[in-house]
Structure 1
Amino acid sequence: MHGVKRVKQTPEALEAKRQKERAKIHEFLDLSDKLLTRRKDSDFSEESFKLTTRLLHINPEFYTIWNFRRNILTNGLFPGSTQEKVNNILAGELMMTMTALKSHPKVYWIWNHRRWCLENVPFGPGEEGSETYQQWRTAAWDNELFVVERLLDADARNFLAWGYRRYVLASMPVPRSDASELAYTTKKIGANFSNFSAWHQRSKVLTKLWADGTLNEKTSREAEFDLVTNAMYTEPADQSVWVYHRWLVGSNPGKSLLLREIKSIGELLEEQPDSKWCMESIVHYARIFLKLYPEDGAAAGLRERTHQLLRELQELDPFRRQRYIDLRTTV
């Protein structure tokens, strides 16, 4: 890192580091052999469970061991246990995954195990369907949403956390309003336009709000164009912004809208003359326009401009040169 003075390690320190790494590898291999044997023998004992904890601490991406851990729970630890004990065991699992996610937030298998735990919580106390039961269950899912929001505060672009958030929202006994979720994506996008997952979540929420009539589609769509245009001018090289813009245009590609957005992006291109995203987007929308409205008075000019931009893209992006050449033959 810049500004940090490097400290040369002594031969003794380097050797100690190598020994520590060798010991860790040896422990991993030893645990792997033991657990795979126990898995083959259907050993669902508490000792096997403890060994999976040690191994997953070393390597949380060993999905076979996660599967074995769940088999131990369902076939070894849960049978004969009270509802309270099962709840306590799964509460421990949730704590274990929470700790693991702090160090490995982008390991799918940790998120998957956490989801499995929630789906297997008996959710007490009280009989299923009782008011006490529903209150307890609602509180548990509210807490889960709080957990995933804290993880997204740490890394707002973690796509696994966003996917898990969608799962939690769909599972909550008392649904969170789509308007609240839209506000949440606004907050995350406002903090960082380069948040692809937040833009993606926003597209899903808006689709629902437009479909059920909660939001006036025409008015809110124009507000979205204002938002994404601001993002395009702020972060013109960011892919997530352009992908969202294409979704917004693609869901309603009328003639006047296409011409307006081509003009708007052209103005940005004048400020950013080497912007590949500007060029490719103009080409993309021009091709849609020419396909839908080939006889329109604007078609000839758009066709000529598209050819010119594709020639410029061949020079700007030589790795995709043949793609641009092929596109020219279709315009």
Structure 2
Amino acid sequence: MHGRPREYKNKLKADSKAQEAYKKKVDAIRNGTALVLEYRKQKKYDPAVLDAAAKLLKVVPEIYTLWNYRREALGPVFESGGEQAQRASEGELALTQACLLENPKSYSTWHHRKWVVGRGLAPLERELHLVSRPLGPPTTIHHNTLHVLSRPYAVRRTSQDELQYVEDKILQNFSNYSAWHFRTILLHQMYCSGPAGSGSDSGSGNGGDAAAGSLGSTAPLAAAATAGGSANRGSAGQRTPIPHDVLDQEYDMVHQAFATDSRDESPWMYYRWLACRLLEDHLAAEPDARWPLLTLARLREAQARLGLGGSPEECEEMLQEARSLYGRLMILDPMRRGFYEDALEGRAFVVVQALGTV
């Protein structure tokens, strides 16, 4: 968990008995997992083995193959319906809740719970309560758990209601990365999913495409720009961009967060998403528009040269993307070819940096 020191590592180093107990625990988990996987290979789903898998998952909920085994075993039970399916649903929900107490950020556990809820036998109000807890006020331990993104699977309200809910959580704590992240998904659902206006009241769904819903990713821009907009060509007539008045409200909220604590990472990542969202909308409608392409190239170059793109490899990819964009601009805007050539060689960035713009 974030901010929690892993004290057990220090204890293991200093305590030989603890080391021995830990080794026995690891061996037991390894042997138990091997046994379950052998039964899975033989397509045997005995109750005793399912119980063994459940006990292992309560200790190590991240062993996704054990969850797969349970889904294979219980799939036919859910399909048959009736009282047996209801008992299976309650049992799996109880198991996942126990595992989440062990590790609230277990991707495998949340995925399995979503699968169970998807069978249609779980009370949705209970699910909303569960997935709302990580998004609670900063006094709660896991207020910024990423798995608030599991919330849409239980939602049957409008996206506008959810947008207000997330705004309340952001105002309680501007550091709530998950709330900012969920907001990108909601805005994408409301304005950018499918035919114009079709996503405006969905409230459910799977959270939109991963790229559009990720604060750390602007991958669609590369396809829209470097390929001449081919990836998004024609899409402007099939979806509506986020309205300018909505964007203005989002900028106002993120500026409020900056004024509260300019060092907080979460609102800055959301701010970058907003800027890139606006660029993507423009490039989808006009893939050859000079200013959006140039702005995107400048952003990519700044990210790469200032080391803000992640790993050295990712920064190099961003720099190559910027160079590709400058090359495309030479073709689209030949009268300013010299300007783009300077930019391609990095000289324009040096001037911008010297002027203090970056």
Q: If the length of structure 1 is used for normalisation, what is the TM-score?
A: 0.61
2:264 is aligned to 238
Between the two proteins, the alignment pairs up a number of residues equal to 253
1:325 is aligned to none
1:320 is aligned to none
2:132 is aligned to 149
Correspondences of 1:221-260 after superposition (within 5 Å) = 221-252=247-278
Shift of 1:235: 2.8
Structure 1 residue 44 and structure 2 residue 45: aligned? yes
Shift of 1:176: 0.6
* Contact kept in structure 2, 1:141 and 1:168, CA below 8 Å: yes
Counterpart of 1:195 (choices 154, 165, 176) is 176
Bigger drift between 181-190 and 225-234 goes to: 225-234
Distance 1:247 1:63 in 2: 31
Shift of 1:242: 2.4
Label 1:311 to 1:196 Cα distance change in 2 as closer, same or farther (>3 A). Answer: farther
Distance 1:40 1:252 in 2: 50
What runs of 5+ residues in structure 2 fail to find an aligned partner? 4-9, 202-241, 283-291, 293-305, 309-321
Label 1:22 to 1:203 Cα distance change in 2 as closer, same or farther (>3 A). Answer: closer
What runs of 5+ residues in structure 1 fail to find an aligned partner? 2-7, 124-136, 170-174, 259-274, 278-283, 317-331
* Contact kept in structure 1, 2:132 and 2:148, CA below 8 Å: no
1:58 is aligned to 59
Distance 1:252 1:19 in 2: 57
Distance 1:204 1:29 in 2: 38
Cα root mean square deviation, aligned: 4.4
2:89 is aligned to 90
2:21 is aligned to 20
Correspondences of 1:134-283 after superposition (within 5 Å) = 140-153=123-136, 154-159=141-146, 161-169=147-155, 175-209=156-190, 212=197, 217-252=243-278
Deviations 1:144-171 (A, max 9, x none): 1121102333423222x132112333xx
SS, match of residue 89 in structure 1: helix
Counting helix residues as a fraction of each chain, which structure ranks higher?
A: 1
Label 1:312 to 1:91 Cα distance change in 2 as closer, same or farther (>3 A). Answer: farther
Structure 1 residue 310 and structure 2 residue 353: aligned? yes
Distance 2:93 2:42 in 1: 27
- Mark the structure with the bigger radius of gyration: 1
Structure 1 residue 70 and structure 2 residue 96: aligned? no
Distance 2:79 2:256 in 1: 60
Shift of 1:24: 1.1
Label 1:119 to 1:276 Cα distance change in 2 as closer, same or farther (>3 A). Answer: closer
Distance 2:108 2:150 in 1: 12
Distance 2:177 2:66 in 1: 32
Question: Relative contact order (C-alpha < 8 Å, sep 6+): which is higher?
Answer: 2
Report the identity percentage.
28
